Structures are given as C-alpha cells and as structure tokens.
Amino acid sequence: MGYTSKNNRRPFESASKASHHHIIKDPEVQAVMQRIEEPPQVEDISTEQLIEDFEPSQNNPVEAIIAVDGGYTEVVLNKEFPSRTIHFLQFGALFFKSEDLAEVDSSAFIDPKDMAKLKNIQRLKLALPTRNLCFKDSSTLKGTVLKAIYEFFMKNNLDEDKSLIDTLAWFVFRKYKQGKRTEQDKYWNLGRNPLSVDNNSVRLFESEMNRNYTFKCPETGGIIYLTDIFRLHEVIDEETGAGGILGYLVNVIEHLIIIHLIRLLCNRQPEMLKKVLFIKDGSTGFFGQTAQLHVAMQDLVNWLLDEHNILLAGLEKSGAFVDHAQDIQNKLDNGKALILSDNYIYRYILPGTGDPNLPYASTSNYGHKLIFKTRNGQMYVVAVPVRELKKNPTINDLPNLQTILDNVEKLRCDMYDSALFPVALVNKLVSLSAYPSQRILTKFANNTIK
C-alpha cells in the first residue's frame, strides 16, 4: 500500500510496477492456485428435473405492490483527517396499486400526474458515525453506534402510532400469536452481552423490558437496548470503525420496514394481506451477526401463511446467483422456472459441497431461490419464503409461486438487467449517488458538526 502526500510537499508514493513477479514465481502461491477448482461450464449442466412451467394465474389476487429498498453513502468529515467518517443511510417503502401501473403501461404518453401515483413513498433517514467519532454523551464509538441505531428505531414509525422498535418487540417476542405463545417466545437469548467484560450471553425477558424497550444489564447495571439483539456490537472496533456493520444493518432495517407494514395491515385491514405483494430488494435471509433473526422470521412466515396466505418475495440484483442466471440464459426456455436444489447450487454456483445434513443457508435463510425466465426472455433470481427449508425443494414447497411469478413478469423493467419496476423506482428515490449527493452531504456534515 503506497504513501500519500497530505500537504503536497512530497511526491506520492505509488505501488511497485514490478513486484508481481515475486507472487507469480512463488511455489506456495502456485500450489494454492492449482488446488482451486472452478464449477463446470454452462454446457455441462442438465436441468430438466428441476425445471417447472410458468402458469400465469387466472385470477391474480394482487391489487397493490409494496417494495422496500435502502442505500447508504460514506462521507469523510475532514479531508485533513480522512479516517473520520460518517455514513448517511436512507430507506424507502414504495406503495402503488396494480391498476395504476396498468394505466401507465397502456398509455401512449406518460403524464406526470400518472407517475405521481407510483411515487407514494415513505422515507427513513439515519446518520451513523462510523469511525473516529462519537456522541457528546458517549465515550466510545461502539456506544455511539448502538445508541444511534436504537434511537432510529425508537423515533421512526412510518407515520403510524407504533414505532419500528415496538414492531421489533412484536416480532421477536411473537406477540402476533397472542394467547398461543409458548414460554420460549417470551424471551430472547443474546449470544453476547454488549456490556459484559467477559463477553457472556444474556437472556432478555419480555417481562423485564422497560417501557423504553431497554433492559438492565445483570452484570454492570447498565442499559441494554432491544436493538442490541442484532449483535452488531461484535463487529465494531474502536480503531477500524463500524463500516463492517452497514450491509447487515441495511438488510435488517429493510426487513423491519416490511414487518412493520405487515403488522399495520394485520391490525387494520387483515383481508388486504392476501392482496398485497411485498417485494424486498435482495435475498430472503439474515446474515452475519444478525443471522439468528431468521428463526423469528421463519416463525412469522409460517404464521402469516396459515392466517393470511402472505405474498412476499426477494429479488436479487447481483451476486453469484444472478451471474449464473445470466450464464444459463440461453439454456433455459422462456416461461420456465429453475428451482435450485442443494446439489445444483454446490455443483454449479457455489464452491464446496455444503452440509450433508442441513439445507443450503439453513442458518440464515427462510426462503428458497429460483431462476425465472419470463415469456419475454427476462431473467430473474427470485427468493420465495417457505414453511421449511429443504435440500431438494419442489414447486409444492414454494407457496403462491405461480402468483408471485405472474406479478414478477408484469412488473418487469427494461431499464436494467433483472430489474422490476417498483424496485428500480424505489432505488432511484432513496439511493445516494457518489456525485453530487456525497459532496452535498459532506458540506452538510462539516457545517453542522461542531
């Protein structure tokens, strides 16, 4: 890694242009390279036993679409001290009626008033110090980050009477089950207490939760936030910062926004849950330190399928599965869905063999992935929540699959590869560009932080 010149008084020390030959000629490096095995090429793939026909629903029940997406950008607070950073995050929940989209699609010219119908969006914003910064009332970066996340959940409610943190308690303590809850539903095992010197675990009982969604630490008497169940404190370092939590945090917040809206419909218009398709940008799972939340999500999905026949899907825009979908585009006929089994995933997409006893991603996912090629030839990687993960899922294991695929085909967006109109639109409305958004936010941060 080269040196930089801060005051322009010394030359920039660039990387060597000749050091690569030391790597190429190293026998240990050569030995490692020879041990690496690539998945088979697309010509070697046989998929007949995994392919299902797409059969559009005769009576599509979906009357409305809700899409959720989030994004963030990094701001260096001071050019003279580039290791001080803050991240600005923005999330959006886009709602529109299917009939509004149909009217726009059939119009020869798009009226701005018609587009306004498709921009009924709720935005949530978060400023998060991520390196060499802290609040005035906090002595550490970790304490600052955890408090900022807690306050974000406390204050945001999407213009409803309940906040996101109240929905988090509803979710993790299974309050939706009402009188059918078990004793295990009423507490949460936090694997690592953020206040424990010895990194001990702690059990958070709903009955001991304060009105402000906090718990008293049994070791120190300090405050444990309900949002600490995300376990993000485990990957925050006072020197290297909190940048490593951002992907996990964005995924959690996107999920909680969807859960919050589902809860709202459950309480006010439960009959509408059968008529709304929820679309999440990305996979159906929780990852890294937040992975344990997938257990609570699996419970919620099963309850929603039993009580409301919920329609929910994740749309992946990048990654190994999307790359593979593009690779087999010419081998998959139009109007076909390729349901991915464990054997297929570990043979053609991911390295390794997987766990022989557990399904793929059983410690993080609550849905199965499939590759769908519409009748017009667009390729999508769709994740569908299921009652139980299996190593060899079939079409019968994916609830409401045909209805979900029917709406995926109708919501196509030709602006980008593997894009859906609502996801592309909500991404445009909440994403933060490197220019000019980043420069404007930098000036905003410098002018407001004292």
> What's the mean pLDDT when you consider all of the chain?
85
Q: What is the mean pLDDT of residues 417-433?
A: 59
Alpha carbon distance 399, 386 (integer Å) = 7
pLDDT at 430 over 60: no
Structural domain boundaries in the chain: 53-446
Q: Alpha-carbon distance 436 to 440, whole Å?
A: 6
Residue 80 has pLDDT above 80, yes or no: no
Q: What is the 3-state secondary structure (H, E, C) of 288-331?
A: HHHCCHHHHHHHHHHHHHHHHCCEEEEEECCCHHHHHHHHCCCC
Q: What is the pLDDT of residue 79?
A: 74
Q: Rounded to an integer, what distance in angstroms lies between the CA atom of residue 26 and that of residue 165?
A: 54
Confidence at 158, pLDDT banded by 50, 70, 90: confident
Whether residue 436 has a cis bond before it, omega within 30° of 0: yes
* Cβ atoms of residues 52 and 336 within 8 Å: yes
Confidence of residue 35 (pLDDT cuts 50, 70, 90): confident
Average the pLDDT over 33-42 and give the result. Answer: 72
pLDDT tens for each residue of 220-255: 999 999 999 999 999 999 999 999 999 999 999 999
Query: Residue 220 and residue 208: Cα distance in Å, rounded?
Result: 16
Q: How confident is the model at residue 143 (pLDDT cuts 50, 70, 90)?
A: very high
**How confident is the model over 89-112, as pLDDT tens digits?**
989 888 878 776 665 554 444 444
Enumerate the β-bridge partners of residue 189. Answer: 203
pLDDT of 390 strictly over 90: yes
Q: Per-residue pLDDT tens for 357-388?
A: 999 999 999 999 999 999 989 999 999 999 99
3-class DSSP assignment, residue 129: strand
CA of 433: how far to CAs of 71, 173, 180, 248, in Å? 10, 38, 47, 20
Average pLDDT over residues 16-45: 73
Helices (H), 156-209: 164-172
> Of 376, 380, 388, 378, which Cα lies nearest the Cα of 338?
380
pLDDT tens column, 267-308: 999 999 999 999 998 899 999 999 999 999 999 999 999 999
Residue 304, burial from CB neighbour count under 10 angstroms (0-12, 13-18, 19+) = buried
pTM of the model: 0.86
Residue 27 belongs to what H/E stretch? helix 27-35
Q: Of 53-62, 139-148, 174-183, give the lowest mean pLDDT range.
A: 53-62
Question: How many Å apart are CA 228 and CA 144, to the nearest integer?
Answer: 12
pLDDT score at 249: 97
The pLDDT-based confidence of 127 (bands split at 50, 70, 90) is very high
CA nearest 312: which of 363, 254, 367, 388? 367
The CA distances from residue 75 to 83, 131, 238, 440, 444, in Å, are: 10, 11, 18, 10, 10
Cβ neighbours, 10 Å, residue 178: 7
| pLDDT recorded at residue 386 | 97
Instruction: Pick 80 or 334 by higher pLDDT.
Output: 334
- Binned at pLDDT 50, 70 and 90, residue 59 comes out as confident
Calpha distance 426→156 (Å, rounded): 19
